[in-house]
Amino acid sequence: MVNNQAQETWQWEEKHWRGLVNQVRAGRRLAPTKWKNGAKWAVALSFDSDHETNELREGGKSIGRMSWGQYGARVGMPRILDILRRHDIKASFYVPAVAALLHEDEQRQVVAEGHEIGIHGWIHELNSVLPYEVERDLMFRSADTLEKITGIRPVGLRTPSWDFSPNTLRIEAELGLLYDSSLMADEDCYELLLDGEPTGIVELPVEWIRDDAVYFMMNRFQSLRPYTPPKDVLDIFLRELDAAHEVGGLFQLTLHPHIITPRSRIWILEEVIRHAKAKGDVWFATHAEIAAFVKENASE
């Protein structure tokens, strides 16, 4: 037997590299001709409520970075919920279980106002490097914790690493999830395949260019200092939005309470909402609502 791990990648047998590619693939596209109530297109806003877990995952050594996470809960979440409330829009919030335990009242308020809470790991761990038993335990414990706090069992997952291990999709199926929102094989929703077999799990794809962190995230100890002016970030988001509207598709956006809500940036969220409403004929929905609808109404 050939030890593929000891070889250079160009020395791999075809069976090996095909097997790697085919672990998780995009299956049939789930793109409806019309959205709910006959809307032409759909908007799905989401927020990764990482709070203090971004630093806790790294060991919790930086009190400064944990205070940045607390800002997301203390200042960011009230600003986000206020905007969503004023515009009568429901959104999805992906919450690490530890962040939920630190801010239980926040999660209960989110659910009380009609929003969705989804799984986002236990402590924002890098799930993609974990062995099956550990990843499974953390995912199930996370689901149980969110259900205990909110009274509602989550139906969707966004992996904390925005990546899969070889076992992630299998565990999602074991959890009985409706959808995932971590991968990037399309702009429309699609069904996930596991080793070539349909799973029934909907992928509601993300994209780094539709994420605020890549433009604003900063860590002075890691030389991570990307910065794009807020007006340029808005321009990127609106171009994505306009293109989704033109084809009657889905515009999905990912934001973070500790990143998007400073005074010089929070207006981006409101402008995205206003722009979408001005286009008209739009369905604003949670990711769970989108996934359930496309699963039942896909035209392909």
Helix (H, G, I), strand (E, B) or coil at 27: strand
Tell me, what's the pLDDT at 6? 74
Instruction: Quickly tell me which residue has 């009274």 as its tokens.
Output: 151
Has this prediction a pTM greater than 0.85? yes
Tell me, what's the pLDDT at 2? 56
Joined tokens for residue 273 = 């909402």
pLDDT in tens, the chain (300 residues): 556 667 899 999 999 999 999 999 999 999 999 999 999 999 999 999 999 999 999 999 999 999 999 999 999 999 999 999 999 999 999 999 999 999 999 999 999 999 999 999 999 999 999 999 999 999 999 999 999 999 999 999 999 999 999 999 999 999 999 999 999 999 999 999 999 999 999 999 999 999 999 999 877 666 677 789 999 999 999 999 999 999 999 999 999 999 999 999 999 999 999 999 999 999 999 999 999 999 999 865
- Rg, C-alpha atoms of the chain: 19
Helix (H, G, I), strand (E, B) or coil at 156: strand
> How far is Cα of residue 163 from the mean position of the Cα atoms in its chain?
11
**Total residues found in the chain within this entry:** 300
DSSP 233-270: HHHHHHHHHHHHHHHT-EEEEEE-HHHH-STTTTHHHH
Residue type, 163: D
Tell me, what's the pLDDT at 223? 66
- Segments of 82-142 assigned E as strands: 92-95, 116-119
Cβ-based burial of 8 (10 A; exposed 0-12, middle 13-18, buried ≥19) = exposed
Q: Rounded to whole angstroms, how far apart are CA atoms 116 and 138?
A: 20
Q: Rounded to whole angstroms, how far apart are CA atoms 208 and 6?
A: 32
- The domains found in the chain, sorted by start residue, are 34-297 (3.20.20.370)
